[in-house]
């Protein structure tokens, strides 16, 4: 099978028939063998009934239904494990992503050799309250991760099947799949300008809190990608620096005490700063040590992404 299209959805009963018909037209026009995985993330409307009807009408459509709302990351993770296509394309169910982009995304993966291609909604039909924070968020993500994409959170992306099988999407990490892919060893990441359409039905399912959660998740993924398997390097390093700073201050105060007989070092604020630095340094070092013990005990501590072997059978 050439293409798997993954469509996570939540309360999108009105847009699903139009989206399914649009996908089918594009796939048939390009003679693609395909499947559509629609993941109902605990919808409260009739979305699942619509998916069932569409699956009867078109055998290429398959569905997964969650008992409650788990979030977009959970929907993608489950669909990724079931995807059979050589290229996996994700798109939102609200008709703001165009299936007409799929053939070009497919070619970039198959013919140009990209591991992942992310859409870039260069011209957006969103209010300024959404576009401005999005630009700031994307700039911060580029700076912290080194991946030069303009629109990390674009729902329209294409992946090699091997990529989706080797990344674990959880929490709200769907925003950072390119970062997770790079961590897994898939470094050829591209970008394509895609057409963004105004929402036709319903309302957005994401509020302003997504920017706060997105920033916290960015810190989390930044830490995990750089220090996930070596926590002592960050916690131990900061701990040593903090302890050394406090120790140096204490040495200075001790010398000053002997040099000046009437010098009362315990009455100076810097004395308490030194004590605080030493205590924090010890705590950070212990945190790094405990993190290292936890990492060494993890079941996947020696799991690596191996692409090829020669004369060996690995795994």
| 207-231 tens-digit pLDDT | 556 666 667 777 777 776 666 667 7
pLDDT at 127: 66
Cα–Cα distance, 216 to 209 (Å, whole number): 11
Cα separation values, 308 from 159, 181, 314, Å: 19, 18, 9
Q: Does residue 159 contact residue 106 with C-beta atoms inside 8 Å?
A: no
More confident residue, 191 or 140: 191
Q: Judging by DSSP bridges, how do beta strands 34-40 and 61-65 pair with one another?
A: parallel
Average pLDDT over residues 248-258: 85
Percent of the chain with pLDDT over 90: 48
Q: How confident is the model at residue 306 (pLDDT cuts 50, 70, 90)?
A: low
Give the global pTM.
0.73
pLDDT digits (tens, 9 = 90+) for 57-115: 999 999 999 999 988 989 999 999 999 999 999 999 989 899 999 999 999 999 999 99
Cα–Cα distance, 117 to 160 (Å, whole number): 9
The closest of 1, 81, 59, 80 to 34, measured between CA atoms, is 1
Average pLDDT over residues 252-263: 76
Strand partners for 34: 3
pLDDT digits (tens, 9 = 90+) for 143-177: 888 888 988 888 899 999 999 999 988 877 888 89
Work out the widest C-alpha separation in the chain, in whole angstroms.
93
Average pLDDT for the chain: 84
């Amino acid at each position: 099978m050439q293409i798997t299209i993954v469509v996570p959805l939540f309360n999108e009963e009105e847009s699903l028939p139009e989206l399914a018909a649009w996908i089918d037209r594009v796939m048939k026009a390009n003679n693609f063998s395909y499947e559509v995985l629609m993941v109902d993330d605990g919808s409260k409307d009739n979305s699942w009934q619509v998916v069932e009807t569409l699956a009867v009408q078109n055998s290429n459509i398959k569905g997964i239904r969650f008992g409650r709302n788990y979030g977009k990351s959970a929907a993608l993770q489950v669909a990724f494990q079931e995807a059979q296509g050589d290229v996996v394309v994700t798109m939102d169910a609200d008709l703001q992503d165009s299936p007409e982009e799929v053939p070009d995304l497919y070619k970039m993966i198959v013919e140009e050799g990209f591991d992942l291609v992310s859409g870039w909604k260069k011209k957006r039909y969103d209010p300024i309250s959404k576009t401005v924070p999005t630009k700031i968020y994307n700039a911060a993500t580029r700076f912290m991760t080194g991946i030069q994409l303009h629109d990390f959170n674009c729902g329209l992306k294409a992946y090699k099947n091997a990529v989706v099988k080797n990344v674990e999407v959880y929490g709200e990490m769907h925003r950072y799949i390119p970062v997770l892919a790079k961590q897994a060893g898939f470094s050829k990441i591209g970008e394509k300008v895609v057409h963004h359409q105004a929402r036709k039905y319903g309302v957005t399912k994401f509020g302003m809190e997504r920017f706060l959660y997105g920033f916290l998740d960015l810190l989390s993924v930044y830490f995990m990608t750089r220090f996930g398997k070596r926590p002592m390097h960050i916690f131990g390093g900061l701990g040593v620096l903090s302890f050394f700073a406090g120790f140096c201050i204490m040495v200075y105060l001790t010398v000053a005490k002997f040099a000046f007989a009437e010098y009362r070092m315990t009455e100076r604020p810097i004395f308490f700063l030194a004590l605080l630095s030493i205590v924090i340094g010890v705590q950070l070092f212990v945190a790094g040590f405990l993190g290292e013990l936890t990492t060494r005990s993890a079941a996947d501590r020696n799991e690596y992404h191996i692409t090829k072997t020669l004369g060996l059978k690995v795994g």
